[in-house]
Structure 1
Amino acid sequence: MSEGYPIKAVLIAGPTASGKSALALELALNAGGIVINADSMQVYRDLRIITARPMPDEEARVPHRLYGHVDAAVNFSAGAWMADAAKALEEVKAGGPLPIFVGGTGLYFKTLTAGLSAVPPIPAEVREAVRARLERNGVEALHAELARRDPGAAERLNLRDRTRIARALEVIEATGRSLLDWHHEGQPPLLRKESFRAVFLAPERDELYARIDARFDAMLGAGALDEVERLAARGLDPLLPAMKAHGVPALIRHLRGELSLEEAAAIGRADTRHYAKRQFTWFRHQLPEFEWVKPGEAGGWLAAAMSAEQHSS
């Protein structure tokens, strides 16, 4: 288990509205695959339309896993997803269908290919106190504090790396243990580096943003507002992940009479575009093993992935 599953897998990532699901479905149909969700919002059963989850007819064509299996009242985590992904992989461990992971949540792909740290959640008050000291005293002072309390972690970090210095200090302050200790106790990756092929669909920005806008309007036409109204009626904590899905907060404000539908839609479209921009940045820096291709080139990449899988079996 610690060395990962001895299987082949295909990983399809990309920003929202880049055509990932269609590519995964095509591959699954042609290669006899099982599609496994790697999108943190598509896990919620309450949100099919507003998260662009595969429709029932698509799910009926090939096996799909980890879609809509979590209630919106649950604060679903990367660790919980990793456990569910491990169960899905068990189904194909012994020569079963090709596992095809598809989604836009970088952290899910990170846990899949690099494992998961065992660091417990950091209390909000600790995080806020450390960030306040960072803003007040500067990164040099924070690094000096870290060097006193956790010399090993401080030695490994660039003196100007504000984010990682703050993170290491939060961990030692909240747990009394070094971040390095927690990392040593983390969960190993589910897939070995040589056991998967990974692609990131990278459309031109203008084209992508136009697709995002058009899709958001299409989702409204398909009943997204009714879906959000049913979710809002549950009276859930607004800080839950499902309550913060792109478009949901603005549409809830519309339902309360605070915004017109067009104002809410404009916010939803803009939030989704901003998220897509962050996805580009995250994958570029965090998952360099993903091969970037234009959606128009995805067919060629798909054929190559299928050929590689056939030759390896």
Structure 2
Amino acid sequence: MGASGPAVLIAGPTASGKTALAVGLAAALGGEVINADSMQVYRELSILTARPTAAEMGGVPHHLFGHVAAGELYTVARWLADAEAALADVRARGRRPILVGGTGLYFSALVRGFSTVPAVPDAVRARWRERGAEIGPAGLHAILAERDPAMAARLRPTDPQRLLRALEVLEATGRSLADWQQETTRPLLGAGAWSGIVLTPDRTALRARIARRFAAMAAAGGLEEAARLDALGLDPVLPSMRAIGVPEMIAAARGDRSADDAVAAAITATRQYAKRQETWFRNQFSDWFRVDPLAGEGAALATALGHFGAGAGGAAG
């Protein structure tokens, strides 16, 4: 780990101010920021994923942002490999890693280990993709419920990506994805090597912030970004095509709905996503240090720095 100190992990719902806190902590602690958001990795999605701008980065080095093509299926396993390299790079220069994002599975895999499922043959994947296009996510869920009820009970009937994954793994390996998930790798960050912070904004304030931010995204070229992504002709099941707000803005870019309606629908989808994130962090990271990011200008950073000054640095801080 070196003299840079334990890695700092900052999780929180979308639009809660994670970037500002990460940059502030990096500047104060001699750190560099590593992305832990599954959508901000995509090169073609900077506006609609609120990827940090150069100004927002504040001169602090950032890693794993916009380094993956939208047409790629970027998995948790790939992120772990990229994160391991980024952690080594940051520490080799005596800097402190600050990992920030809203993807709970990334953080969980980082500190608890990750299930390594064998690769699924391309032919199996293509067959299920074709079937999914024919019958939709509800049809996929019905098939999974018949063949693997335990896994089906874990997944929403409106989540085609995970439903397809479960069916592909079942066919390719003969085992339930639920069984594979019981077999985990060694955590990349062990006890004492990290400290975790969860942002817990006031719900009403966060809802207003989400609305303002998405309206700003639209005004900053979000519709045009969606149109460029749509022009690539990618599989609609790919994660990049299902990023929050992207389907709505693509529909508007195609003329299938008005821009105002698309923005309103995207704001609703973002709020629903934030609520799911909050629930996940509350259940999975109950022992992480809590910070209210919207308490007032500079208050979140001061609280976080006070926490570190009080001797944070254990598994949960």
**TM-based fold match above 0.5:** yes
Could you list the per-position Cα deviations for residues 253-306 of structure 1 after superposition, in whole angstroms to 9, with x for gaps in the alignment? 111111011110011101100000000111122223322221125234321344
CA separation of 1:175 and 1:292: change in aligned 2, threshold 3 A:
same
Query: In structure 1, what residue type is equivalent to 2:143?
Result: A
Distance 1:57 1:309, change over 3 A: farther
CA distance in 2, matches of 1:60, 1:26: 9
| Cα-to-partner distance string for 1:30-89 (whole Å, 9 max, x where unaligned) | 111110000000000101111111102334601100000001010111110000000001
Partner of 1:292: 290
The residue number in structure 2 matching 1:218 is 216
92-101 vs 178-187, greater mean Cα deviation: 178-187
Q: TM-score, normalised by structure 2?
A: 0.79
- Secondary structure, aligned partner of 2:257: coil
Q: Summarize deviations over 1:200-248 as a string: whole Å, max 9, x none.
A: 1111111101100000001111111111111111111111111111111
Distance 1:93 1:82, change over 3 A: same
Please give the alpha-carbon distance, in whole angstroms, between the structure 2 residues aligned to 1:187 and 1:96. 27
User: In the alignment, which residue of structure 1 is the partner of 2:154?
Assistant: 163
Aligned to 1:229: 227
Q: 185, 198, 201: which is aligned to 1:200?
A: 198
Are the aligned partners of 1:12 and 1:24 in contact in 2 as well (CA < 8 Å)?
Answer: yes
Structure 1 residue ranges, 4+ long, deviating more than 6 angstroms after superposition:
169-173, 178-181, 309-312
Determine which of 290, 297, 309 is the counterpart of 1:307: 309
Return the TM-score normalized by structure 1.
Answer: 0.80
Quote the Cα distance in structure 1 between the aligned partners of 2:46 and 2:170: 40
What letter is aligned with 2:67? Answer: H
Counterpart amino acid of 2:276? R
Residue 143 of structure 2 is matched in structure 1 by 129
Change (3 A) 1:209 1:95: same
8 Å Cα contact 1:11/1:199 also seen in 2: yes
Letter in 1 for 2:231: A
* Cα distance in 2, alignment partners of residues 87 and 309 from structure 1: 27
Q: C-alpha distance in 2, partners of 1:246/1:162? A: 24
- The CA distance in 1 between the partners of 2:36 and 2:142, in whole Å, is 30
Residue 131 of structure 1 aligns with an amino acid whose one-letter code is A
Unaligned stretches of 5+ in structure 2? 132-139, 156-162
1:225 alignment partner AA? L
Asked if residue 264 in structure 1 is aligned to residue 266 in structure 2, the reply is: no
How has the CA–CA distance of structure 1 residues 310 and 91 changed in structure 2, closer, same or farther, with 3 Å as cutoff? Answer: farther
Out of 273, 283, 290, the position equivalent to 2:271 is 273
Percent of pairs with identical residues = 48
Q: Bigger radius of gyration, 1 or 2? A: 1
Task: Let me know the Cα RMSD of the aligned residues.
Answer: 3.0
Change (3 A) 1:304 1:195: farther
Identify which range, 66-75 or 224-233, moves more after superposition. 224-233
